[in-house]
Structure 1
């Protein structure tokens, strides 16, 4: 919009003529001197244009800029709210980290169906499933026992195979920042480094029920319902130890050794603490 030579009246300086302007400032020649003002803020209460059609056009520009200003203020306020929320989450996270006490059964074994056998190893993430009843029906299960010391064991059985033949497909530590109590979506992502996939040959040698036993029903190998079970920290250490022994590829073996060492450190386990395989299959 060209405002040069347009006549104006200022509340304090009287009548004048616009001699220069840009997107942020405007210069007006009054009777005795030139004055610069912020554009378009000066219009409205302090400065009036004589030309009504130009004034109407300018008013639309001012309204547009005011809307943009309010939108920008709203965005900044939303950003401040998000920062405050993130700060609160960080403080809660730090508090949980500081006060965390190891649960003796803070490892998870996950039942992968046919589709999940592929996705869990490609995405390195599993979903804890939904609550089946009650007031929270349909909401994701919160894996409350999982913490930075936790690993997720991926298992599956072949079609029509009995439960006792459940194989271990792979294992991963949970993400470095993951805390089950704060998990709202039920997704359990993997650590950036500590994740191991077994070959088919290795998987056939790693049967889950050689390690796991339900102490209340030690003679039974049944899963019943649900996508996951919690189990003993030392059993997971034993599984990792056996994976290390099994790996022949030098790079995979080194990663497995580092994984095992990290897991034992996080769970305060020493080699002397490791049990022998004593799952339900070993008791038959």
Structure 2
């Protein structure tokens, strides 16, 4: 909107004429007395356009500007709130000695896929060498706040096709000490099994990202690996969206609520997944 030569009225200086109009300033001639004002702020406070049509057009600009500023202010407050919550979450994790990657992902072999959802028993595997060879692999990070993510990749699939079959919460009295059987105790209530069709939509590498090699998608060996708490919340969030059965949706929401409380995660402010495939 070009306001040069438009006549205005100032609350103090009276009648004047706009002689210059820059992006953020206007210059007004008050009977040979030039005054410079911030644009468009001056029109909201002490300057009025004498041309009614132009004044109405300018008012529309102000309305749009105020709406944009309101949206930006809301966004700033939301971002600030997220930052505060994230800091609080980190402090809680620190004070309660909860590791930020205290979840666990298992690579199920084909033999275990058929019965894991019947007995809900998952082994950490055994140490392959050294003086402790044959003993169960330790999982020192696991606590009652930990979830187990069950994944599978068949021999004829590439690694990027690894899918998530289900999840479970670790038993609520588990202290990280694995017994001789190497089994991770599972919570009797918080368990999720995905159908084959659902699993095809839940690719593991949509969530997992190697911080040192973000584009790498490899799992060369090992029965399990540790997994970030936030990534697990992202998986649960997507499962809730994926499910169509009302009872299963309810169970998934209860699982997520329990998980987020134990891990001090604000379930209303979970960031988008940024796995290697995203």
Q: What is the CA-CA distance between 1:231 and the residue it aligns to? A: 1.1
1-side partners of 2:129 and 2:150: how far apart? 26
Shift, 1:186, TM fit: 1.5
**Which residue of structure 1 lines up, in the alignment, with residue 244 of structure 2?**
248
In the alignment, which residue of structure 2 is the partner of 1:216?
212
Cα deviation per residue 1:157-185 (whole Å; 9 max; x = unaligned)? 13311000000000000112222135443
2: CA distance between counterparts of 1:134 and 1:227?
A: 18
Q: Verify: 1:262 aligned to 2:258, yes or no.
A: yes
Q: Deviations over 1:195-235 (max 9, x none)?
A: 00001111000000000011112111100110000010000
Give, in whole Å, the separation in 1 of the partners of 2:208 and 2:179. Answer: 26
Match of 1:110 among 106, 115, 119: 106
The SS at the match of 1:153 is strand
- State whether residues 234 and 273 of structure 1, in contact with CA within 8 Å, keep that contact through their aligned partners in structure 2: no
Structure 1 stretches (4+) deviating beyond 6 angstroms? none
State the distance in 1 between where 2:251 and 2:178 align: 29
Aligned partners of 1:131 and 1:228: how far apart in 2? 12
* 1:33 matched residue in structure 2: none
TM-score, normalization by structure 2: 0.64
Distance 2:233 2:273 in 1: 11
Alignment partners' CA distance in 1, 2:277 and 2:99: 25
Q: Tell me the equivalent position of 1:122.
A: 118
Residue 174 (structure 1) aligned with residue 153 (structure 2): no
**Alpha-carbon distance in structure 1 between the residues aligned to 2:269 and 2:208:** 17
Alignment of 1:202-213 (within 5 A): 202-213=198-209
Q: SS in structure 2 opposite 1:134?
A: coil
Quick one: structure 1 residues 208 and 171, their matched pair in 2 at CA, closer, same or farther if it must change by over 3 Å? same
Partner of 1:144: 140
Q: Which has the larger radius of gyration?
A: 1
Worse overlay, 222-231 or 269-278: 269-278
Any idea what SS the aligned residue of 1:130 has?
coil
1-structure distance, mates of 2:126, 2:242? 36
What TM-score comes out, normalization by structure 1 length?
Answer: 0.62
Q: State the Cα deviation string for residues 118-173 of structure 1 (Å, max 9, x = none).
A: 22222111100111111111111121111000000000013311000000000000
CA RMSD of aligned residues (A): 1.4
Structure 2: tracts of 5 or more residues without a match: 1-94
8 Å contact from structure 1 (residues 235, 274) kept in 2? no
How do 1:1-16 residues align onto structure 2 when only pairs under 5 Å count? none
Partner of 2:185: 189
Q: 1: distance between equivalents of 2:179 and 2:143? A: 11
Rounded to whole Å, the distance in 2 between the matches of 1:273 and 1:178 is: 28
